Structure 1
Amino acid sequence: MVGAGPGPPTFSAYVFITAACRRIHAALSMRGIVRTTPARPTAHLMHSGPRSPRTAQFRAQAWARTWLACALACAGMAWAASPAEGPQHMPSPDWRDQILYFLMIDRFANGDRANDDQHAGEFDPTDGAKWSGGDLRGVRERIPYIKALGVTGVWITPPVANQWWNPRSHYGGYHGYWATDFSKVDAHFGTLADYQALARALHGEQMVLVQDIVVNHTADFFKYDALPDASDPARGLSFIRDTQGQGAPTQAPFDRNDPRDPAQRGQGQLQQAVYHWTPDIRDFADDTQRLTWQLAGLDDIDTESPEARRALRASYGQWIRDVGVDGFRVDTAFYVPPAYFLDFLHADDPEAPGIVRVAKETGRKEFHVFGEGFALDKPFDDTQARRIDAYMRMPDGTRVLPGMIDFPLYGTALDVFARGAPTAQLGDRIRRRMQVHADPWRMPTFVDNHDVDRFLAQGDETGLKQALMMMMTLPGIPVIWQGTEQGFTDMRGSMFAGGYRSGGRDHFDKAAPMYQYLQRLIAVRRGDKLFSRGTPTVLRENRVGPGPIVWRMQGEDGSIAIVAINTSNNSVLLDNLETGAPPDTTLSTVFAIDAGIPSIAVDDKGRATALLPPRAGVVWKSLGEWAKDEFRLRPPTIDALPQSIFTEDFYVSGTAVGAEPVRLVIDDDAIHGRVVRPKDGRWEAKIDTTRMIDPEVEHSVVVYESASKNASERRTFKVARPWKLDVFVDDPQGDDNGPNGRYTYPTDPGYATHPGDIEHVALSTSGGALKIVLRMRSISTAWNPPNGFDHVAFSIYIDLPKQKNGATVMPQQNAELPDDMQWDVRLRANGWTNAVFSAEGASATAEGKPIVPAARMRVDAKDRTITFILPATALLFAKELDNARVYVTTWDYDGGWRALAPQAGPHAFGGGDGARDARVLDVVGPLKIP
C-alpha cells in the first residue's frame, strides 16, 4: 500500500513476506526443521524428469507451512506496536488490495466518558434505540487491535452531527445516518481535533480511513399523513421537534424545511426547494417514489437542487481537506439518481468542487467512493446486480461511482453457507458478477453488517468460516463488521464494556478463535495478490443442496490456485477437476480451515480428483512441484441413462477394471452412495430417489474407485416425484391478537393491514419432505424485504415422532408448546431471515442448533401465500412424516423479536408485559399429518 510516514515498508506485502519467509526457511533448514532442496524451475517450464510424489508433496507442504507461519509472524511484527503519528494526508492505495474493518462509532469504543450524555434524553446503554457512548477517541485507542487483525483500513459510520432523539419514532441517531449538520462532528463523538487525530494515527500505520456519508436525506423533522397536494405541499404536513427543541436541521440550506413558506417551498420563480415534499415510499418498484419520496420517514433531499448539491459537495469536501479521509461509502445510494453522482464527484465549481477534485488536491489520485444498493438477487438471476451496476456505469459506458457494495454476493453466500442452499447458486453468482460488473475487484464484499442479522444468528461457526474464506479468495474489497471476529450474534452489540449488550465486558480479545482464524485468512490474501487481483473460474458446484463449490483463481502472472469448500456434513468427491495447472504437478495446501487436508496431484491431462472432508475449506496452489503420474489405470465407466427424467427409483450400470469395489457417488456425496463389487468387469446399482423433491434440479451420478482414485465421467438426470396434500385447514380472520385476545399491533401504519393474521394452512408431503403453504390476510413489502414479505415473522415448530429428546420451550417467545407437543425442528423466517434449528441446546433464550439446509421459500403476493419447503435433510433425514405435528406462530422480528409493552408504540406490540407474556400473535395447530 502506498503511504507516507512511519510504519511498515511501502513495497508489496507479498514481496516483503516472501523474502522474509525465504530467510526464515533457510534458517530452519540449517536446524534441520525443514528440508532444503535445489531450486526448481517454475511450473510452466520443462523439467528434467519425474519426482517422487511423496517428496514433492513434502516439499510443497513444508514451503506452504513456512510461508503461512512467516506471513503471520511478519504480520505480528508489523502490527504489534501502538499507532504511530502519521500525516494528515497520504496517497491513495491500490483499492483492490484493501481489507476494511467496519465499525459503528457509538458501539465500538468509549475514549471519553465526558461526552456520553448530552442531556437530551438520548443516552442509555441499556436501550438499543439510544446512544451508548462510543466516540472517535475510542476508535483511535483501539487501532492496535484493528491493525493486528491484518486489515488495511477502517470504515466508520457517519461522524456528523445527528438528531439525538426523535420522540415520534422513539429512536435516536446514534448510528450517524440522521444528520442535522453534514459539516460538523457530533458532540457525542468528540471534536474535529479528535477526528483529525484518528486520521493521522491510521495514516501512521499506513491504513486508510473511509467515512460513511449520506446525500439522500436528513433526519426526520416533517411527515405527511396522506398524499400531498402538488399545488399545496403544506396540506397533510406535520412537524416533529426533537428533544433538543429543533424542528429542522441546523445547517443551511437544509434548515429550510417548511413548505408553508413560499421561499422554502420553491414555488414559481422563487428559490428552488432543497427537499421533496413527499410521504413515505409505498411502492419500491415505482422509480418516482424511490427517488423522491421519504425512506422510512427521513426527509428526502432534492438532489437536483443546485443549492443542495453545492452544500453536500462543500460539506464532504471539507472532510477530505480538513481531516484526511481516504474514501467514502454512500448510504442509500439507490434512492438518488445515478447521474447525481457525476456532479457530486466531478463538478467544476471553484467554491464547492466535486469531491474527486478535492481529493486530488490532497494527493489522492484514486479516492474511492462506493455506494450502498441494498438489493438481493433471487437464485440464478442478476436483475438486482444490473441495477447496482447502473450506479457504476451509465448506459453509454460513462463511469459513475468507482464501486458499489456487492449485496447479491452477500445474499447468496448467506443462503449457501448459513442456510444450506445448493452451492450452484454461489457458482452462478460468481460467474454473473464477473460478467455483469466491469470492475468487481473494487466492489466491497461482506458477510455481516450493521443492517442485517448476524451470520451467527442464523448459521454456525463453520459456515461463517467458510463464508469469510469465500470473501477473502474472490475479487472485491473484503469488509469485516465489528464483532464478527469475536463471534457476535447481536447485530449492533457494543464492543466496549459499558455499551449496549456488551455483557459488561470489553470484546477486544486477540485470542478469540474467530479473531485468530481471520488473522490466518487475511495473511493469505495479503501475502499473495493472486487472491485480490486474480480472476475466478468455477470448476464444481452442487445443484441439489449442500456440497462442494470449487473455483480456480488465475493471477495476472498466470499463477493458479484452487479454492474448494464443502458445505455438506458428508465428505464429497471432487472428480476430474480441470485445474488449469501444468500436467503431472502437485497442488499444495497453502490454507485450510482445519488441519489435515493434504496436497493433491494433477494428472497428465491437468485434472485432479480428491475427497474433501465434511464442512472443509482448502486453498491449493500450484507452486511448480512435479508429481508422478498416478492415473495410468483405466477409470470406471457408467452407461448412458435410459431417460433424463425419472419418477421413481432406477438402476444404473457400467464397467470397472479389476475386482476392487466401486462407489456410486450421487450429487457429490462420497459417503452414502452404494458400494458395488464388479463382476466380470461389470457393475450395477440402484439409485434411491426418495429425497429428490425438486423436478427442476439436475442430479449427477459418478462411479469412484478409491483404490486408484479414479472416477468415471458424470451422468445427469432429473426426478419428478408427486406431492400428497395431507392437511388443509382454515383459521378465523381477526384472531391475531395474542393468547388472551388483548394484543394490539404497533401503531406504525405498516401494521394496519394485519400482516400477522393467518387465514389458511396447507401441509403436503413427498417422502420425508414437507411443504407448508400459508395464506395470510395481507402481505406487506413496505420495507423492500429480499424474502418478499415484511412486518411479520414466523416460528414454525415440527414434531417428528421418530425423534427423541425434543423440546417444549418456544425459544425467545416466552411460551411453551401446547398439547404435550415436543419440537425437533424449528423454522424461523421473516423478510430478511430464513433459519432452521434442531432442538439440541434450545432453551428460553437459545434457539437451538442451526441445521441446513434452510427452507425454500416462495411468495405469491397476488394470492397472499407464503410457501416453505423443507427437504428431508432439513428434517433430520426423515424418510416419511406420518404422525408428525406442525405448529405455526406469527410475531415480528427486527434483529430480535419485536418488543411487547402494555401500550403499543410505533414498533412495539401492545397489551402485554414483554418480560413474561408470550410473543405470539396468531397460531395454527398443532396440525397432525395422517
Structure 2
Amino acid sequence: MRSSSAKFLALLCGASTALGCKSKEEPPAPPPPPADLLHVPSPDWRDQILYFVMTDRFANGNPGNDDQGAGEYGPQEEARYSGGDLAGIVSRLDYIQGLGATAVWVTPPVANQWWDPLVHYGGYHGYWARNFREVDAHLGTLEDYRSLSRALHGRGMYLVQDIVLNHMANCFRYVAYEADHVERHVQLNTGAKPACGPSQAPFDQWDPTNPAHRQAGIFHWTPSILDYQNPEQELNWQLSDLDDLNTSNPAVTAALKDSYNFWIREAGVDGFRVDTVFYVPPDLFKDFLFSKDPAHPGVLETARGLGKEGFLAFGEGFASDKPFEDTLSRKVASYMDDPVTGEALLPGMLQFPLYRTAGDVFARGHPTSELAHRLMNAREVFSRPHLMPTFLDNHDVDRFRAGGSEAALRQALVFMMTVPGIPVIYYGTEQDFTGRRSAMFQAGFESGGRDRFDTTAPLYTFIQELTALRKAHAVFRRGEPTVLRQNGVRGGVFAYKMEGEGDVAFVLFNTSDEETLLDNLETGLPEGSRLALLASVNGGTEATVGSQGRLSLKLPARAVRVFRPSGQGTPVPPASARITLNTASGGTVSQDFELSGTAVGLSSLRVVVDGALGSASEVTVGPDGTWRTLIRVASMVDPTVEHSLVAWSEAAGVLSETLTFRVSRTFAPLLTHEDPANDDTGPEGRYRYPSDLSWGSNHQGDFRRVTLLGSGTVLKLAFQMPRITTEWNPQNGFDHVAFTVFIDVPGREGLTVMPQQNSTLPAGMNWDYRLRAHGWSNALFSTDGASATSEGSPVSPAATLEVDAASGTVFFTLPGELFAGQSSLSGVKVYATTWDYDGGYRPLVPGTEQWKFGGGDGAVDPIVLDSTPVLTVP
C-alpha cells in the first residue's frame, strides 16, 4: 500500500478495524445497529456491491409528487420526469437486497431545474441543481430521504449519494464571447422551470449581466467548452452550457462543503459519488475532503465525527484509453493521488478505463490481450484499485445489451464480480434492459406498460449467484489478479488467477462465439491437482491439472469456468501418444504456409490456430508417423500481433508444443466512390441539421469519399467526411454523426428492412450484417431477430474503429470471420448511411430545433441524412 493510502485504511477495514482486517471468507457481520439507524459505522467497502438507481426511473412510491404543474412531467418522453421517487426505492429494497446488492447509489436527490426550454430537456436525472440543500419536489422530502437511509441501515446496507461540484443548472449561456466584456452576448434562460437561477446563496448570484453578481465571482463567466484538450477550458468553461462554478473562490468551496455535509448529518449518507471531477482541479479535494476548518470542515472530517471512519468518496472521470495505452488511466489516477507529492485525494475513482476495455472484449470481440493489459495495468497505475467501483454501463452511455449479447453480458458480469473493485449493477441490468434510461415501473418511460421487478428473471437469478460467489470467497473481494493466458489476435481464451487472503482461484473465459481450446496453461500447481468448480457458464465440471502442472480444456462458446484448488488427485498416467512440430516457431509470413510434424500413437490429429476449434483442420497421420497441412492466413492482417497454433488429439489427450508466427499483409484499394458534396439533406433534399451551433456548417454527416479496401477476406471501410468534430469529448474520436452500414455477403439470405430507419435497402441488396457506430458506441448485428423496430442480434467480433482527424476519415475494419466460406471479398456489397444518435437515432421533426433534425416526420420518413449507392466489390 502506498504511503498516500494510509489515511484511507479505515475504508479498507471499516467497522472491523479493531479486528485487524484478518482474512475472512464471508464479509464480517456488521455490528449491532444503533438505536437511531440514521448514522451507522462505515463498512469495508471492498466487501460491498452497489446497485445504481436513477431515482426518477426506478419506482414510484408517491404518485402525488409526479407532476409539479410546470409541464415537466411526461413519462412518454425520455426528456421529462417519469415519476420515480425516494419512497419508491424504499418500497423495492427487498428486490435490491435479494439481488445481492449491499448498498444503493442514487442520482442526485437535490432540487433541480425541472425544464430547460433552451435545450428542450428536463432535470429529472438530478445533475442540474438549483439548490444543493433541498430534496427535489418530484422525489419527496428530507424525511423521505431519511426513511431510505434508515431502511437501508436497518438491513445492514448503505447509501451512496451522487453529488456535483463543477456546475449548476443552465441559467445563462453565451451566443458569442468577449472575455473582457462577459456581460455581453448573454442569453438568460428566463423560461426555465420552476425559475431562472439557483435559489441557494451564494449560488443565487448567477447573472453575468448583474455587476454585483460579476463582482462576487461565484461562477466562471465563460462559454461552453470547445476544446477538451485545453486545460483552461476543461477547468473553467461551461460543460454543455451548464453554469460553471468558480471553485477557486473560498465562498464557493465553503458553500459546497456546507451543502454536502448537510446530507451526511441530516440524511446519514455513507458515501459520495462525485460527478464530472475532470472539470475541477484535483487540489479542490484536499479542501473538500480533508479541511480542518471548524466552520466549514471537509466532508470526510464531518463523516468521521459521526462515526463513519470509512466514508467513501469516488469520482467520475470519463476517460478510456486506446488498447495498450494508459495516458488517460493516469489522468484518472491523478484524482486519487497527487502525482507530484503523492498526497491522497479521492479514495476512489470509477473504473472507466476497465469499463471500456471490458466492453470491447466481451461485447465486441476484441483480442483478450487488451483486457489482460488493462487488468494488470490497474495494479501499476492505481494505488487503491479495490476502492474503484467497476461497472459495465451507466446512465450516460449505451447499455451493454444495446450492442452486446446476453452471453457476453453474463461473461462480463462474472469478470466484474471476480476482480478488484466495488461492483456496480446499473438498475435494469438484471431485467435485460437495452434502453439507457428506461423505467422499471409500469407508468414510466419505455417500461413496456408493466413493472419490471421480476425476481425469477434469468439475469436476476444469475446475478444472485454471482453476488453470492463474491461474498463467499474473500479472494475475489480482496485478492490480486495475475493474467495467465490471453489471445492477442481475437476473442477466445482469457485466464487469470486471483490470489490473496490465503486462497487462490482460477477464472477462465472463452469470449469467442465458437469452441476454443485452452492449451498448456501453466497453473503452478502440482501434477494431478484437483480443481473444484465454483461457478460456470455453459456447462463444466471439476478438472485435473495435467503433466508439468499444465491445464488443457475444450471451452464451449462463451464459456466461463471458475475453479479453486481442492487438493491432490491421482497421478496423471504417462501419455500413450506424442505430437511434435517440424516447422520453426517465431517466423513471419505473408501468405499461406505449410506446417509439418510427426505423431506417435495417432492416426489423425487437429491443428488449432489461435484457439479456434471451429475452424481447426483435420489432419491424417501417415504410416510413417509424418503429417503436413496448409495454414491459411487470408483473414490475418495485423503484423503487430502474434498468432499461435497447436496440434492436438482430444481422444489421446495430447498436444504439441505451441508454435507462434506473425503475418504481414497490406490492404489494397478495391473500390472508391466519390460522393457529391452537401447532399446531406435526406432522400428528398429537405432535411436540416439541428440548429445548435456545434453542427453549424461542419456537415459531419456528409460523405465525400468512400473507399473499400481488402486484404484476403478482411474488409476495411474508409469514410472521408468534410470535418471530424469532437465537441462532446467522444470516446471513439468523432461526434455529431452516426454511421449505419449494411453488408451483403454473396450466397446468403438476408433482409431488406433497415431497422429503426423507416426504410428499406435499395433494389438488388439485402443485408447479412449491420454496423451502427457513433462517438460512444460501435456495434455489429446479424439479421437474427431484426425487424423494422429491432436491430437484430449482436455479433462478435465487431468491427474495429480508427479515426484520422487530419484527413477527416473514419475507418472500420470488418474481421474475416464475417466472410467465412468466401475465398475472396468479390461480390460483397456495402450500403452506408449517416444520421446522429443519442440513446437512439436523433429525432426528426418538421420544424427547426436545437437538438433535432428538421424537415420531416420521424414517425414515417427515412432516418437517412446521406447515403452511398450500393457498392459492390469487383
Give the TM-score category using the shorter length: over 0.9
Q: Which of the numbers 572, 576, 598 marks the counterpart of 2:541?
A: 598
Matches within 5 A, 1:621-770: 621-630=564-573, 632=575, 635-641=578-584, 644-679=587-622, 680-752=624-696, 753-770=698-715
1:456 equivalent in alignment to 2:406: no
**What is the CA-CA distance between 1:904 and the residue it aligns to?**
2.3
Please give the per-residue CA displacement for 1:882-926, whole angstroms capped at 9, x wherever unaligned.
122211100001110100000121110000011100110001111
Structure 1 counterpart of 2:815, from 854, 861, 871:
871
Q: Please show how residues 40-439 of structure 1 align to structure 2 within 5 Å.
A: 87-229=37-179, 231-244=180-193, 246-266=195-215, 271=216, 273-395=217-339, 396-439=341-384
- The DSSP-based 3-state class of the residue aligned with 1:728 is strand
Alpha carbons 1:872, 1:879 under 8 Å: kept: no
Q: Which amino acid aligns with 2:763?
A: D
Q: Secondary structure at the match of 2:646?
A: strand
Q: Which moved further from structure 2: 243-252 or 175-184?
A: 243-252
| Residue aligned with 1:925, SS | coil
Q: Return the alpha-carbon distance in structure 1 between the equivalents of residues 822 and 563 of structure 2.
A: 36
Say whether 1:572 aligns with 2:572: no
User: Residue 244 of structure 1 aligns to which amino acid in structure 2?
Assistant: K
Structure 1 counterpart SS, 2:115: coil
Residues 1:591 and 1:367: Cα distance change in structure 2 (over 3 Å): same
Residue 614 in structure 1 maps to residue 563 in structure 2: no
- The CA distance in 2 between the partners of 1:519 and 1:335, in whole Å, is 37
Q: Following TM superposition, by how much is the alpha carbon of 1:133 offset from its aligned partner in structure 2, in angstroms?
A: 0.5
1:436 deviates by: 1.1
Q: 1:245 to 1:560 in 2, by over 3 A?
A: closer
Partner residue of 2:18? none
- Tell me the distance in 2 between the aligned counterparts of 1:380 and 1:2: 33
Question: Which secondary structure does the structure 2 equivalent of 1:862 belong to?
Answer: coil
Q: Could you give the per-residue CA deviations for residues 282-337 of structure 1, whole angstroms, max 9, x where no partner exists? A: 01011111011100110000111100000000010110111110000000011111
User: 2:634 and 2:672 mapped to 1: Cα distance?
Assistant: 24
**1:83-105 CA-partner distances (Å, limit 9, x unpaired):** 99971111111111111000001
Pick one of 740, 743, 763 that aligns with 1:819: 763
> Secondary structure of 2:715's partner?
strand
1:535, distance to aligned residue in structure 2 (A): 0.7
Which AA in structure 2 matches 1:671? G
Q: What is the alpha-carbon distance in structure 1 between the residues aligned to residue 294 and residue 284 of structure 2? A: 18
Is the contact between residue 92 and residue 365 of structure 1 (CA under 8 Å) also seen in structure 2? yes
In the TM superposition, residue 830 of structure 1 has moved relative to its aligned partner by 0.4
Q: In 2 relative to 1, CA 445–15 (structure 1 residues): closer, same or farther, beyond 3 Å?
A: closer
CA displacement, residues 654-688 of structure 1 (integer Å, 9 cap, x when unaligned): 33332253221110113322233434343322211
What do the CA deviations read for 1:468-492 (whole angstroms, capped 9, x no partner)?
Answer: 1110111000000000000001000
Instruction: Check conservation: 1:86, 1:203, Cα contact below 8 A.
Output: no
State the Cα distance separating 1:757 from its structure 2 match. 0.7
Q: From the superposition, tell whether residues 15 and 894 of structure 1 become closer, same or farther in structure 2 (CA, over 3 Å).
A: closer
Q: 1:181 to 1:802 in 2, by over 3 A?
A: same
Output the amino acid matched with 1:647: S
Q: Report the alpha carbon displacement of residue 627 of structure 1 after superposing the two structures with TM.
A: 3.5
SS at match of 1:787: coil
Gaps of 5+ in 1: 5-9, 20-77
CA distance in 1, matches of 2:513, 2:207: 60
| TM-score, reference length from structure 1 | 0.89
Q: Secondary structure at the match of 1:873?
A: helix
The Cα shift of 1:874 comes to: 2.9
Deviations 1:319-367 (A, max 9, x none): 0111110000000011111110110001112122100000001111111
Tell me, in whole angstroms, the C-alpha distance in 2 between the residues paired with 1:468 and 1:492.
20
Residue pair 1:433, 1:440 contacting (<8 A) in 2 also: yes
Structure 2 equivalent of residue 785 of structure 1? 730
Cα deviation for residue 840 of structure 1 reads 2.4
Equivalent residue number for residue 63 of structure 1? none
Structure 2 residue aligned with 1:797: 742
Is the CA contact (8 Å cut-off) linking 1:639 and 1:653 kept in structure 2? yes
Q: 1:390 to 1:16 in 2, by over 3 A?
A: closer
Separation (CA, whole Å) in 2 of partners of 1:211 and 1:245: 24
Q: What SS does the corresponding residue of 2:867 show, helix, strand or coil?
A: strand
Report the Cα offset of residue 13 of structure 1. Answer: 8.4
Give the alignment partner of residue 427 of structure 2, picking from 482, 499, 504: 482
Superposed displacement of residue 881, structure 1? 2.1
Q: CA deviation at 1:803?
A: 0.8
Question: In structure 1, how many angstroms separate the alpha carbons of the residues matched to 2:853 and 2:581?
Answer: 61
Aligned-residue Cα RMSD (Å) equals 2.1
The offset of 1:172, in angstroms, is 0.5
Separation in 2 of the partners of 1:265 and 1:638? 78
Letter in 2 for 1:894: D
Q: Following TM superposition, by how much is the alpha carbon of 1:602 offset from its aligned partner in structure 2, in angstroms?
A: 1.5
> 1:606 deviation in Å?
2.5
CA–CA distance in 2 between the matches of 1:127 and 1:369? 33
Quote the Cα distance in structure 1 between the aligned partners of 2:626 and 2:138.
77
| Aligned counterparts of 1:917 and 1:603: Cα–Cα separation in 2 | 63
C-alpha distance in 1 between matches for 2:687 and 2:223:
28
- Identify the range of structure 1 (363-372 vs 645-654) with the bigger mean alpha-carbon deviation: 645-654
Report deviation, 1:778: 1.3
In 2, Cα distance between equivalents of 1:649 and 1:538 = 31
Q: Which residue of 1 aligns with 2:4?
A: none
Deviation at 1:500, TM superposition (A): 0.5
Equivalent residue, structure 2, for 1:538: 483
1:610–1:709 contact (8 Å) kept in structure 2: no
* Separation in 2, partners of 1:849, 1:160: 39
Deviations 1:756-792 (A, max 9, x none): 1110111122232211101101111011111110000
Distance in 2 of aligned mates of 1:359 and 1:629: 58
Q: Does 1:507 align with 2:457?
A: no
List runs of 5+ in structure 2 lacking aligned partners.
1-11, 16-20
Residue 526 of structure 1, CA deviation? 0.8
| CA-CA distance at 1:246 after TM superposition | 2.3
Change (3 A) 1:3 1:198: farther
Question: In structure 2, how many angstroms separate the alpha carbons of the residues matched to 1:402 and 1:3?
Answer: 13
Matches within 5 A, 1:11-22: 14-15=25-26
Please state whether the residue corresponding to 1:101 is helix, strand or coil. Answer: strand
Count of matched residue pairs = 853
Cα-to-partner distance string for 1:377-396 (whole Å, 9 max, x where unaligned): 10111111111000001122
> Percent identical across equivalent pairs?
50
d(CA) in 2 for partners of 1:643, 1:495: 54
Distance in structure 2 (CA, Å) of the matches to 1:441 and 1:741: 55
One-letter identity of the residue aligned with 1:237 = V
Picking from 866, 870, 874, the partner of 1:926 is 870
Whether contact under 8 Å (1:422, 1:545) holds in the other structure is yes
On the 8 A contact 1:13/1:526 being kept in 2, the answer is: no
